[in-house]
Structure 1
Amino acid sequence: MRWDDFRRSENVDDVRDEGGGGGFRFPGGGGGIGIGGLIVVGLISWALGLDPRLILAGLEAVQGGGSGYEQQDRPQGQRRELSAEEQRQGEFVRAVLAQTEDVWTEIFREQGSQYRAPRLTLFSGTTRSACGRAVSAMGPFYCPDDQRVYLDTEFFDELAQKLRSPGDFARAYVIAHEIGHHVQNLIGVMDKAQGARERARSEEESNAISVRIELQADCLAGVWANRADAKFNILERGDVDSALRAASEIGDDKLQRRAGGEVVPDSFTHGSSAQRTQWFRTGLDSGDMRKCNTFGGGRL
């Protein structure tokens, strides 16, 4: 994926060098669990669309009450120097975010409206969001309450190693998916979906709404990729395959099989591998967000 010569977004807050990294230590154990171990959990929680606040509640429950974990904070005011790779990852995120800004600004203008770009927080270990405390175990997520994307860049390494989805375009897909949620927020889809979930008569019905929301975000990520390539010529050989592989690897069915459990479609919250690749491909082939109607004839 070409990105080195593109502009960098100014809507990134990089707090990775602040106190707050260093991993987590679980009470009662002998030693700590580093960020990498937690991000493995984050891969699953991100792919399954879990509310980040539920992750924290789960950690507390496992410990039988209390905080369930202790952050290994650095002394207040102490900063660390980012590695060369961390700096490169930060530049990559700024470049991709800038492309999403340019593309969605153009698309919204075509529709006679104005795009309001979100901010993106790069953090290491833990930080705070309007949706609660953000930790690496949550994976990347979009918080509609403050219109921010939260991302620990070590997730990218786990994406390549644990989910066999290396490459810059697979990473860009992750960012573009979260920006897709921001687009949904701007056009009112997220509010309607939340209301529909609250009115749902069963967990299965609520999950089905979540699946449609996530598949639409995949489709919107594909729309971005189409328009960004037309505008900036970003795609290189193998890029599309890497993004489709990432979409496939985080299908609910494949994740459930990987976890050694039974595949239960009624429990899906993001969609199957086939659905995720289909909707990303729909957006990628069309470049038209009107094609991203994952609700079909249904109404929120």
Structure 2
Amino acid sequence: MRWDDFRPSSNVEDRRGMRMPGGAGGLGIGTIVILGLVGWALGIDPRILIGGAEMIAGGGSGYEQPQQQGRQGAPQDEMGRFAAAILGNTEDVWKDVLPKQANRQYQPPKLVLFSEGTRSGCGAAQSAMGPFYCPLDQTVYIDLTFFQDMQRKFRAGGEFAYAYVLAHEVGHHIENQLGILPRVQARQREVGQSEGNLLSVRVELMADCLAGVWAHHSQARWQSLEPGDVEQAVAAAEAIGDDRLQRKTQGQVVPDSFTHGSSAQRVRWLTTGLKEGSIQACDTFRASRL
């Protein structure tokens, strides 16, 4: 992937190497890791389990103001520069595409890089949880060692695969700006777990598709893709499908517990975005087939 010419974003905060003050809402690191593993094994978002445990432990609920302040601006190390460059390119794409296709001005998210653990507006952020977007503070959180885990655990490496992960989280920010995330979260509070999981799948598949929309327009304007890049992203989407992860962790697939979508679904929606370059084509909530 050609990213050296991308404009690095200044909306980056580097907390790597900083210790999380006070732990995670009173939870020990061992508890956090166990809850993270249980969540992935059962198909439950680990943040839900950790957040619930924090409330029980007296960690509170709702928006939490992060208690740390890291280095602002684009980092100078290779992976930090890569993350800042991909974020900058998503900004340059979406500030043009979102007004044209959705009549909304794009307000870019912030990106926090951390190691092991930090605080987010949504509570504790731990490496075991993987990258995530917090709508309360409109920030993407990632421990960049996740990319090493993709290569080692899932055999899904390569720069475009890593860029897809970041663009997927930015896709959640687009959903938030379009008002989709608040409506889904409100609906999830009203329905049972099975329907709530299906809503989560639709949100995640839409973010996959929006990542493809970003790549479509990045390629059209900057010719950023090289041979094999799309295959890298498709391999990553396949590797992190709920069916693949459940079969690996618990030996069986339970579709009702899916929260992100199957491998085939994730590949389908990523490639839809890549091909169409259209937000409208990513409407998983009106799609008759996921």
TM bin (shorter chain): 0.7 to 0.9
Partner of 2:50: 55
Matched, 1:251 2:241: yes
Structure 1 pair 240–155 and aligned structure 2 pair: CA distance change class (3 A): same
2:131 alignment partner in structure 1: 140
What's the secondary structure of 1:199's corresponding residue? coil
Q: State how 1:213-232 maps to structure 2 within 5 Å.
A: 213-232=203-222
Give the residue type in structure 2 aligned to 1:107.
V
TM-score normalised by structure 1 residue count: 0.81
* Matched residue, 2:14: 14
Amino acid at match of 1:239: D
Gaps of 5+ in 1: 68-76
Q: Who wins on radius of gyration, i.e. which is larger?
A: 1
Show the counterpart of 2:172. Answer: 181
- CA shift, 1:42, in A, is 7.1
Match of 1:88 among 75, 78, 81: 78
Of residues 221, 236, 240 in structure 1, which corresponds to 2:226? 236
Q: When the two structures are aligned, how many residues end up with a matched partner?
A: 270
Q: Does 1:190 align with 2:185?
A: no
1:169 aligns with one of 138, 160, 176: 160
User: Following the alignment from structure 1 to structure 2, what is the Cα–Cα distance between the partners of residues 120 and 164?
Assistant: 25
Q: Quick check: 2:156–2:232 contact (8 Å CA) kept in 1?
A: yes
Given the alignment, which residue of 121, 135, 141 partners 1:130?
Answer: 121
1:113 Cα deviation from its structure 2 partner:
2.4
Computed over aligned residues only, the root mean square deviation of the Cα atoms, in angstroms, reads 3.2
Deviation per CA, 1:247-290: give whole Å up to 9, x if none: 01111111111113321111111111100000000000000111
Distance 1:136 1:55 in 2: 13
Q: What's the CA shift string for 1:90-148, capped at 9, x where partnerless? A: 00000000010001000122143210000000011111111002111111000000000
Question: 5+ residue gaps in structure 2?
Answer: 60-67
Aligned 8 A contact 1:47 1:251 in 2? no
Q: 1:129 & 1:54 partners in 2: Cα distance?
A: 16
Query: Contact 1:48 / 1:252 at 8 angstroms: preserved in 2?
Result: yes
What does residue 71 of structure 1 align with?
none
Change in CA separation of 1:59 and 1:44 when aligned onto 2, cut-off 3 Å: same
Shift of 1:183: 0.2
Q: Post-superposition shift, 1:18?
A: 2.6
Look up the equivalent residue of 1:97 and give its one-letter code: L
1:70 matched residue in structure 2:
none
For 1:2, give the aligned amino acid: R
The answer (yes or no) to whether the contact 1:46–1:138 under 8 Å persists in 2 is: no
Could you give the per-residue CA deviations for residues 209-240 of structure 1, whole angstroms, max 9, x where no partner exists? 11111100100010001011111111011110
**Pairs within 5 Å for 1:267-282:** 267-282=257-272
Distance across 1 between alignment mates of 2:158 and 2:246: 24
- Equivalence map 1:193-212=2 (5 Å): 193-200=184-191, 202-212=192-202
- The residue type paired with residue 45 of structure 2 is L
Residue among 64, 77, 95 paired with 1:105: 95
Sequence identity percentage: 48
TM-score, L = length of structure 2? 0.83
Q: What is the match of residue 112 of structure 2? A: 121
In the TM superposition, what whole-angstrom CA distance separates every residue of 1:31-59 from its partner, at most 9, and x where no partner exists? Answer: x98x9xx59x5797499571525236569
- Conserved 8 A contact 2:3-2:86: yes
Q: Distance in 2 between matches of 1:47 and 1:278?
A: 24
Taking the aligned partners of 1:158 and 1:168, their CA distance within structure 2 comes to 14
Task: Classify 1:19/1:208 alpha carbon distance in 2 versus 1 (closer, same or farther; 3 Å).
Answer: closer
